Amino acid sequence: DGGITQSPKYLFRKEGQNVTLSCEQNLNHDAMYWYRQDPGQGLRLIYYSQIVNDFQKGDIAEGYSVSREKKESFPLTVTSAQKNPTAFYLCASKTAGGPDTQYFGPGTRLTVL
């Protein structure tokens, strides 16, 4: 089955720790995205990547880092510099350019203890 997987589904972090959220896709999509969703709000773009070994900051990149070493994978690290990391994180992918929609993973809920 083609799709996007995110792991883990739930993640708990102590203050001061870095954590990495996994996003994998087997749709052969070039572009991948990370969004953050807070209650009652729309999605906000953290980082995106149009091609392997290249990525750009989105609207709220501070306190986050990413890598894109493989086409299939786009992990997101939430660093200790992110002051309010508790949120629902969504990964998406699409073909580069063109009119296609983004396909979303099931999300990871991160809670800071």
Partner 1 sequence: KQEVTQIPAALSVPEGENLVLNCSFTDSAIYNLQWFRQDPGKGLTSLLLIQSSQREQTSGRLNASLDKSSGRSTLYIAASQPGDSATYLCAVTFIIQGAQKLVFGQGTRLTINP
**Which residues form the interface with partner 1 (CB under 8 A)?**
4, 6, 40-45, 88, 90, 92, 99, 101-107, 109
Closest distance of CB 80 from partner 1, Å: 26
Measured distance CA(92)–CA(25) in Å, rounded: 9
Q: Which of 88, 96, 103, 111 is nearest to 5 (CA)?
A: 103
**Closer residue to partner 1 in complex, CB, 58/75:** 58
Question: Of the two residues 10 and 84, which places its CB atom closer to partner 1 in the complex?
Answer: 10
Nearer to partner 1, 84 or 101 (CB): 101
Nearer CB in complex with partner 1: 78/91:
91
In the complex, least distance from residue 37 CB atom to partner 1, rounded to whole angstroms: 9
Please state the closest distance from residue 107 (CB atom) to partner 1, in A.
5
Peptide bond into 8 cis (omega under 30): yes
Taking the complex as a whole, the smallest distance from the CB of residue 91 to partner 1 amounts, in Å, to: 8
CA 100 – CA 98 distance, rounded (Å): 6
